[in-house]
Structure formats: C-alpha cells, structure tokens
Amino acid sequence: MNNIFSTVPIQHYIILSAVLFSIGVIGVLTRRNAIIIFMSVEIMLNSVNLLLAAFSTYHNDAAGQIFVFFIMAVAAAEVAVGLAIIVMIYRNINTVDINDLNRLKG
Amino acid sequence: MLSSLFYFLAFVSIFFAFMVVVSKNPVHSVLYLILTFFTVAGHYLLLNAQFLALVHIVVYAGAIMVLFLFVIMLLNLNAEKEPINTNLMKFAGAIAGGSLMLVLIAVFSKINTLEPAHAANTQIGLIKNLGMVLYTEYILPFEIASILFLVSMIGAVILAKKNPHTS
C-alpha cells in the first residue's frame, strides 16, 4: 500500500478535522440534551485524534499515534464518569435538559 | 484509487457527524455516532495505522457506544421527551459554529507544511512497531493510565450507586 500522502495533501486532512470539530461545536451549542452534548464532545475528540494520526503518518513519527492511544484511554474513562454523573442528575431532577440544571444559581 | 476512497470516507463521516447533531431521537444519534466512528476507523486504515483502527473500533464502538446506548435506554429517552431549543438559540449556535469552521479552514489552508517524510511505505502504525515505542519510551504514561482507569471505575460506581439517605 502506497503512502496516502502521495495523492491526498495534508491540507485536506486538516480541513476534514476542522469540519468535524465545528460540527461537534455546533452540537454542543444547539442541543439541550446532556447526552447529545456529550456525543458532540466525542466527535470533537475524534476529529483531533484523526489529525494527530494524520500528522504522525505524515512525519513518519510514532509519537502522534501514541498520543492518540492515550487520548482514547482518557476518553473511555471520561465517558464512564460523565455518564454516571448524567444518570445521577436524571435521578435527582428527572430530566437531562441542561436548561433545568440551574440550581447553582444564587 | 486511494484518494477517491479518502474523499468518499470524508464525505460519509461528515454526513454522519451532521446527522448525530440534527437527529431528534437520541437512539438515532447514537447509531449515527457508531457509523461516524467506523468511518474514522477507515481513515486510520488509510493512514496505515492498523493498531489505532483496531483500538478505535474496540474502545469506541465496543465500549463507549454500549455505555451510551445503555444510559439512553435506562433513562427511556425518546423523541417526544427530547428538549428542543428555541429557533433563535439554534440559529445563534449554528452561526457561531459555522464561523469557527470558516476561521479554522481559512487559517489552516494558508499554512506552510513541511514535505512529507520520504518513507513511501510507512510502517510505524503496525502493532509491533507501535508496541516497541509504547513499552519502552512511554512506559510511565502507560502505567499511569491504569491508575486513571482504576480511579474512574471507582468514581463511576460510587456516583451511580443509589444513595441510601435520599431515597
């Protein structure tokens, strides 16, 4: 298999990651369901992972792919704790609508 | 051939990511998210990063998505219960996110990049080579990650446990 960068320039990977990241940002800004917001954060993490892996292959340096591996590990831990928090919120106020999470207001 | 595969995968992953954001039903969002993850795994394969593609499918499609589906079905969320933002908020969010996308693309399309590495057939993404680096140079972060998992496991159990004083 030939190197992908002989046919696809690195800029296209950057643009793909930027678009995916922005879709994640739009999801965080426009949705009110806490779980969907969480999924949008996952999309943003994935776009960054993809760009790290692309640069790692581009420069033939393994460090980028190791970073992606650790980001995945942290993301898995983060999802477990985050979903536990969402379940806890649902148990207390019976909704996952973030607009109802204003109890900390003075 | 490779480049057309890349553009196809890129289009599909953007489409599915978009569908995650606009789907009314949270279960549909999760299913679209799984498809997005599979297309990202396809990108890793194109980059000749087989180890990452495998780990990505195992961790995301195997573990994280099962957690998401479990929670959504446990909480019995569906399209009728879905909280909807006002149109003004949706519009404002889309404008803000679209502006971010425009700025990112405009900036990154102007940068000068180094020439790609000369290795025509890069092998660093294979499990053997990546494992060598992971278990020699990055052994300390690897061990610390296990502590992180232990902490997050205990934290998730304690958080999700029913509190005997409240119920």
Look up the ipTM and state it. Answer: 0.90
Q: Could you tell me what percent of chain B has a pLDDT over 70? A: 93
Minimum-distance CB partner of A36 among B29, B98, B116: B29
Instruction: Give domain status of residue B116, yes or no.
Output: no
| Bridge partners of residue A97, in order along the sequence | A33
Instruction: Give domain status of residue B109, yes or no.
Output: no
Q: Could you tell me what percent of chain A has a pLDDT over 90? A: 51
Give the residue from chain B lying closest to A26, CA to CA. Answer: B97
| Bridge partners of residue A41, in order along the sequence | none
Instruction: Give domain status of residue A77, yes or no.
Output: yes
User: What is the sign, positive or negative, of the torsion defined by CA atoms of A47, A48, A53, A58?
Assistant: positive
| Domain carrying residue B155 | 2-81+124-160
Instruction: Give domain status of residue A104, yes or no.
Output: no
The predicted-structure confidence for B14-47, as pLDDT tens digits, reads as follows: 999 999 999 888 899 999 999 999 999 999 999 8
Residue numbers in B near A63 (CB within 8 A): 133
Convert B54-86 to b/e letters by CB count within 10 Å (16 or more is b): ebbbebbbeebbebbbebbeebebeeeebeebe
Give the residue from chain A lying closest to B63, CA to CA. Answer: A76
- With tokens 């678009």, the residue in question is A19
Please indicate if any CB of chain A lies within 8 Å of the CB of B87.
no
Q: Cβ A20–B14 below 8 Å, yes or no?
A: yes
Instruction: Give domain status of residue B6, yes or no.
Output: yes
Give the residue from chain B lying closest to A42, CA to CA. Answer: B33
Instruction: Give domain status of residue A106, yes or no.
Output: no
How many beta-carbon pairs under 8 angstroms link A with B? 248
Which stretch of DSSP H or E encloses residue B27? helix B26-46
Domain total in chain B: 1
Which stretch of DSSP H or E encloses residue B159? helix B139-160
Q: What is the DSSP letter of B114?
A: P
Report d(CA A19, CA A16) in Å as an integer: 5
**CATH (domain of A21):** 1.10.287.3510
Contacts of A7 (CB under 8 A, 6+ apart): B2, B3, B6
pLDDT reading at B127 higher than 90: no
Q: Which residue has the higher pLDDT, B135 or B118?
A: B135
Report d(CA A25, CA A46) in Å as an integer: 13
Minimum-distance CB partner of B94 among A30, A85, A86: A30
Instruction: Give domain status of residue B104, yes or no.
Output: no
Taken as a whole, chain B contains a residue count of 167
Residue numbers in B near A4 (CB within 8 A): 2-3, 6, 46-48
Measured in angstroms, the CA of B22 and the nearest CA of chain A are apart by: 8
What type of residue is B117?
A
The predicted-structure confidence for A53-79, as pLDDT tens digits, reads as follows: 999 888 888 888 999 999 999 999 999
Instruction: Give domain status of residue A1, yes or no.
Output: no
Please tell me the predicted confidence (pLDDT) of residue B62: 86
| Domain carrying residue A72 | 8-99
Report d(CA A93, CA A84) in Å as an integer: 14
Please tell me the predicted confidence (pLDDT) of residue A105: 65
Instruction: Give domain status of residue B92, yes or no.
Output: no
A75 Cα distance to chain centroid: 8
Contacts of B164 (CB under 8 A, 6+ apart): none
Instruction: Give domain status of residue B61, yes or no.
Output: yes
pLDDT reading at B89 higher than 70: yes
The two three-digit tokens of residue B103, written as one number: 């700025």
Give the residue from chain A lying closest to B114, CA to CA. Answer: A59
Instruction: Give domain status of residue A49, yes or no.
Output: yes
Instruction: Give domain status of residue A60, yes or no.
Output: yes
Minimum-distance CB partner of A72 among B36, B59, B116: B59
pLDDT reading at B142 higher than 80: yes
Domain total in chain A: 1
Instruction: Give domain status of residue B48, yes or no.
Output: yes
**CATH (domain of B30):** 1.20.120.1200
Report d(CA A93, CA B161) in Å as an integer: 16
